[in-house]
């Protein structure tokens, strides 16, 4: 970082979701922006209670806030940001941990851009008064449908932002039927990856195709044009329940314990799937990375919303499998409009297409590993993704 470098603030939610997927997603933005020469600050000011995972024995909000602050300091110090973060405890006494409240105000006032990652922070006057606030959503559909319905709360929430970005790369194209807002113009972006975070030195692939995620999530289903579009991925996994017996390959699902019951686990295991508690690997970012790098590749599905609406959405977790040189077989959201498929990365709609992808990977595993890494380098590297984002944001 050069002296006098322009400042960027990233608003995030790592203490609300202190799991490795969210942590790595955030760190790729922070470190990527630093490597481009910016003075980067991380701030949580979402008025959210920190997760109980950070302090299981906490006696109150003050203990949770202290635990959140300690967590952020521990996560951010290795990327050189030990003194450039703030946890603004708006859910409690309003105390500012890390940066002082006065210093945080100065940072907001002088920032080139303030990026609302996930679109999860409710904008405050100090965020928008310099007209530098950017909305960056990682899950499309919900907001776009609310805008089409004219939901005033959503309009008021988005209005303070100056530019809008979505991981739904097909939004606004003929392929994706989601209604387009005339007032809020969304631009396509994707997850940046710092490739050397995922170098595989000393790490050999194992025999199992894996993924990490949730099973049942009963919220955020949406109605659009008389149909229900589901958020929960279990609807899609059930369509491919027989893959282990059908293909002879080994598959493992690392699932959040919230939303998966004993009956679900028994059903999956009786069908040949291995199931493990995702928290065993997700509470430690390094263990999560080792899990991905020790996999043969990733097999996963996408949310029904993204599949049927053909949003072009692509998982940030899948991007890290690619960066680790691990082939990815993932359900088709029409992301092949933006990313190459057939070597290292495969899109599927049917079990037959999964079998074809597995056959191709067996035939030339090393070649598909190299192709996966090259896709990550060409399409997800931070120095490819972030300059375009900043240019289109006006930074």
- The domains of the chain are located at 7-193+381-393, 195-379
Q: Chain centroid to CA 26: how far?
A: 8
The answer to whether 192 touches 385, Cβ cutoff 8 Å, is yes
The reported pLDDT for the residue numbered 49 is 84
The residues facing 276 across adjacent strands are: 254
pLDDT at 55 over 80: no
Among 154-168, 190-204, 302-316, the minimum mean pLDDT is found in 190-204
Q: How many helices (H) and strands (E) does the chain have?
A: 16, 16
Q: Which fold has domain 195-379?
A: Rossmann fold (3.40.50)
195-379 matches 7-193+381-393 in CATH topology? yes
How far is the C-alpha of 306 from the C-alpha of 176, rounded, in Å?
Answer: 9
pLDDT at 200 over 90: no
The residues facing 215 across adjacent strands are: none
How far is the C-alpha of 363 from the C-alpha of 156, rounded, in Å?
Answer: 54
Placement of tokens 């603004």 in the chain: 88
Confidence of residue 91 (pLDDT cuts 50, 70, 90): confident
Confidence of residue 57 (pLDDT cuts 50, 70, 90): low
The CATH number of 7-193+381-393 is: 3.40.50
How does pLDDT run across 126-145, given as a tens digit for each residue? Answer: 999 999 999 999 999 999 99
Confidence of residue 293 (pLDDT cuts 50, 70, 90): very high
Global confidence as pTM: 0.96
The answer to whether 127 touches 108, Cβ cutoff 8 Å, is yes
The residues facing 41 across adjacent strands are: 9
The reported pLDDT for the residue numbered 46 is 83
């Amino acid at each position: 970082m050069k002296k006098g470098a322009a400042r960027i603030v990233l608003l995030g939610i790592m203490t609300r979701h202190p799991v490795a997927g969210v942590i790595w997603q955030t760190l790729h933005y922070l470190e990527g922006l630093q490597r481009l020469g910016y003075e980067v600050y991380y701030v949580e000011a979402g008025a959210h209670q920190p997760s109980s995972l950070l302090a299981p024995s906490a006696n109150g909000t003050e203990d949770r806030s202290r635990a959140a602050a300690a967590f952020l300091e521990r996560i951010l110090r290795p990327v050189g940001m030990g003194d450039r973060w703030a946890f603004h405890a708006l859910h409690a006494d309003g105390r500012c941990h890390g940066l002082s409240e006065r210093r945080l105000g100065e940072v907001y006032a002088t920032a080139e851009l303030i990026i609302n990652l996930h679109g999860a922070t409710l904008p405050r006057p100090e965020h928008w008064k310099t007209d530098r606030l950017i909305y960056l959503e990682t899950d499309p559909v919900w907001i776009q449908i609310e805008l089409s319905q004219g939901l005033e709360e959503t309009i008021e929430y988005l209005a303070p932002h100056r530019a809008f970005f979505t991981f739904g790369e097909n939004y606004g194209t003929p392929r994706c039927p989601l209604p387009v807002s005339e007032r809020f113009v969304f631009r396509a972006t994707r997850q940046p990856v710092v490739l050397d975070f995922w170098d595989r030195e000393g790490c050999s692939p194992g025999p199992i195709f894996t993924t990490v995620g949730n099973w049942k999530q009963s919220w955020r289903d949406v109605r659009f044009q008389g149909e229900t579009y589901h958020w929960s991925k279990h609807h899609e996994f059930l369509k491919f329940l027989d893959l282990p017996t059908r293909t002879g390959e080994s598959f493992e699902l690392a699932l959040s314990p919230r939303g998966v019951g004993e009956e679900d686990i028994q059903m999956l295991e009786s069908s040949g799937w291995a199931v493990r508690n995702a928290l065993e690997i997700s509470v430690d970012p390094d263990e999560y990375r080792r899990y991905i790098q020790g996999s043969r590749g990733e097999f996963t599905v996408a949310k029904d919303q993204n599949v049927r609406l053909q949003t072009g959405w692509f998982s940030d977790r899948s991007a890290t499998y690619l960066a680790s040189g691990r082939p990815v077989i993932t359900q088709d959201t029409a992301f092949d409009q933006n990313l190459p498929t057939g070597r290292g990365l495969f899109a599927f709609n049917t079990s037959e297409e999964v079998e074809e992808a597995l056959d191709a990977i067996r035939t030339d595993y090393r070649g598909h590993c190299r192709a996966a890494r090259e896709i990550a380098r060409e399409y997800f590297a931070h120095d490819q993704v972030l300059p375009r984002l900043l240019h289109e944001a006006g930074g």
